[in-house]
Structure 1
């Protein structure tokens, strides 16, 4: 089990982004049509879990649509059926994943600015920032120098001072952490242990 993942299970998602909507369920489901319910594969906005949602009758969803799945009255979703692993995602869901991760990162700007301001070295030779795609030693040192002068206040502040888009590297790292086992999980668990 992923480090920090047990903590994630204790908290519930309130919103999820649709990765793929299957009006008649999975193609390999051989039950008669009248026994099938519409389902979606989705991505949780805060805990970054992939899940299967069962929809209420006559409800549909668009790709990347943000749906309420929390406790209480839900407009479209009947219930969360199960948690999914990356390998269980449909080809459409895999294609959509990076896009919705970017939306989730933008929706939690404060959380990730805190990460950029506070993440530290993993070993004597490697800093957490270097795990972000496109952030090499030069960029890492620029981030560290800038945050010592003044903590970053927003993504825009980061991008103005470091001269680098940061949403894409954050989203790509989260996708990597979801796709396959990692030696270091830095973003999927951030804020659950800090």
Structure 2
């Protein structure tokens, strides 16, 4: 799935849940209820509810163009984590992990490129389990040579275990928590 950003560029997304008979809380007769899908944007990790055109069928993990201009989608609206279906919520972690694995270079480069946010806070410190000592170890190692992979990160930085999962945890936290001061991976629509 993909939606388009403000510039009209496609932004891919992945299906978290598909409801062929529409939402249970929709009081209309069954024949009037459109199929819907819950999806996660791949680039900005935004959450969406997509109302599908007739005769469109999807499965979890499918990717498709969810732009209103497509022949698949009737409408798209952005959601908060709490608005996802009970089936979409547990799929979220799997979808994030798949995105991180598929685009390893992008996420390894986060470790290579992360910068200070304030005089006392660094982007790396936003990651679960990364304190001052571990942050400094990462910064020292990346000065020597940029990290090539998650395995390279884990081998070169003592104490950094499973750097991919650390990112998955942070992305989940950014999606679930409404009142975070800093967001690195999740872009939210301005309310």
TM-score normalised according to structure 2 size: 0.81
Q: How much does 1:141 deviate?
A: 2.0
1:116 — aligned with what? 111
TM-score normalised according to structure 1 size: 0.80
Q: Select the residue among 33, 44, 50 that pairs with 2:41.
A: 44
Q: How much does 1:30 deviate?
A: 0.7
Q: Which runs of 5+ in 2 are unaligned?
A: none
RMSD of Structure 2 on Structure 1 (CA): 2.5
In the alignment, the residues of structure 2 paired with residue 125 and residue 101 of structure 1 have an alpha-carbon distance, to the nearest angstrom, of 29
1:57 paired with 2:25, answer: no
Retained in 2: the 8 A contact 1:152–1:158? yes
Retained in 2: the 8 A contact 1:13–1:45? no
Q: Deviations over 1:46-76 (max 9, x none)?
A: 121111122343433332x13121669968x
Q: How much does 1:14 deviate?
A: 3.9
Question: Counterparts of 1:1-150 in structure 2 under 5 Å?
Answer: 9-10=6-7, 12-63=9-60, 65-69=61-65, 77-150=72-145
Retained in 1: the 8 A contact 2:50–2:66? no
In the alignment, the residues of structure 2 paired with residue 26 and residue 188 of structure 1 have an alpha-carbon distance, to the nearest angstrom, of 26
SS, match of residue 170 in structure 1: helix
In the alignment, the residues of structure 1 paired with residue 64 and residue 6 of structure 2 have an alpha-carbon distance, to the nearest angstrom, of 18
Retained in 1: the 8 A contact 2:68–2:74? no
